Amino acid sequence: MTASKDCRRCALCTGRTNVVMPEGDPSSPIAFVGEAPGAKEDEAGRPFVGLSGRVLNQLLEEEGLYRSKVFITNTVKCRPPGNREPTQAEMDACLPCLESELEGRKVIITLGRSAARDLLKRPVVMRDEVNRPRKITIRGKDAILIPAYHPAASFYNRKVKDSIRESIRNARTYL
Ligand code: SF4
C-alpha cells in the first residue's frame, strides 16, 4: 500500500498542500525515515528538501552514500500544522504506507524520536537509544533499525552531525 495523492485517512489531509511521497532508490537496502514533512517539503511535495535535508545530503555525500542511492521517507506523508509532532493516531493511520515502503529493507535509520517511536512501538528517550541497533520485523521480514538524531537537531548542537555520521557508518556495516 502506498499513499495516494488524495489520501484522507487522517486529519493531516486538511492542512497539507501536497502528500509528500518517498524519494530515492526504491530498491535500496537502506532507508531513512524522518518524522514528518515541514513547510518546504509540503510546498515541494518532496521529503527532506529544507535545511534538514541539506544537512542530510551533506552527511550522505561525505560518507559516499548519495541521496539517489538510498530511500528517504517520513512516518507521515502530510505536514502537521505548525510543525508539531504527529499524533499517535496520525502515525497509526499512515503506518500501512510506511510498512509497505520499508518491507524488505536491510537497514532503517530513523531520524528523530517520533520515527524511532513509530517503528519500535514504544516510548523512546533519544540519548539512551541513538546508535544502538535493534532488530525489528516488518511484515515478517527482519531489519536492523538504527535510531539517529534528526538533522534539525544539528542546528543547536554541533555534535549531532557527528552522531548522525556515526549512524550512517554504522548502517553501512550491515549492507
Ligand atoms: S498523513 Fe498519511 S494517512 Fe494521513 S492523510 Fe496523509 S498520507 Fe493519508
Opening angle at CA 63, ends 57 and 67, nearest 5: 35
Proportion of the chain above pLDDT 90, given as a percent: 94
The yes-or-no verdict on residue 81 having pLDDT over 70 is yes
**Predicted local confidence at residue 175, as pLDDT:** 87
Tens of pLDDT, residues 65-78: 989 999 999 999 99
CA of 104 to the centre of ligand 1 (A): 22
**Entry pTM:** 0.96
CA of 79 to the centre of ligand 1 (A): 9
CA of 10, closest atom in ligand 1: 4
Neighbours of 172 (CB within 10 A): 13
Please give the grid coordinates belonging to residue 43. 510546498
**Predicted local confidence at residue 169, as pLDDT:** 97
Q: At 59, which helix (H) or strand (E)?
A: helix 51-62
CA of 112 to the centre of ligand 1 (A): 19
Q: Ligand 1: which of 4, 16, 76 to mutate, judged by most atoms within 8 Å of the beta carbon? A: 76
**Predicted local confidence at residue 75, as pLDDT:** 98
| Domains of the chain with bracketed CATH | 11-172 (3.40.470.10)
CA of 55 to the centre of ligand 1 (A): 26
Residues 6+ positions from 43 with CB-CB distance below 8 Å: 17, 18
CA of 86 to the centre of ligand 1 (A): 11
**Predicted local confidence at residue 158, as pLDDT:** 86
**Predicted local confidence at residue 174, as pLDDT:** 92
C-alpha dihedral (118, 119, 120, 123), degrees to nearest 10: -10
Q: Are 34 and 111 spatial neighbours (Cβ–Cβ below 8 Å)?
A: yes
Q: How far apart are CA 41 and CA 9, in angstroms?
A: 20
Q: How confident is the model at residue 1 (pLDDT cuts 50, 70, 90)?
A: low
Tens of pLDDT, residues 99-136: 999 999 999 999 999 999 999 999 999 999 999 999 99
Ligand 1 contact, 143 CB (< 6 A): no
Q: Ligand 1: which of 4, 13, 85 to mutate, judged by most atoms within 8 Å of the beta carbon? A: 13
C-alpha dihedral (9, 87, 31, 41), degrees to nearest 10: 80
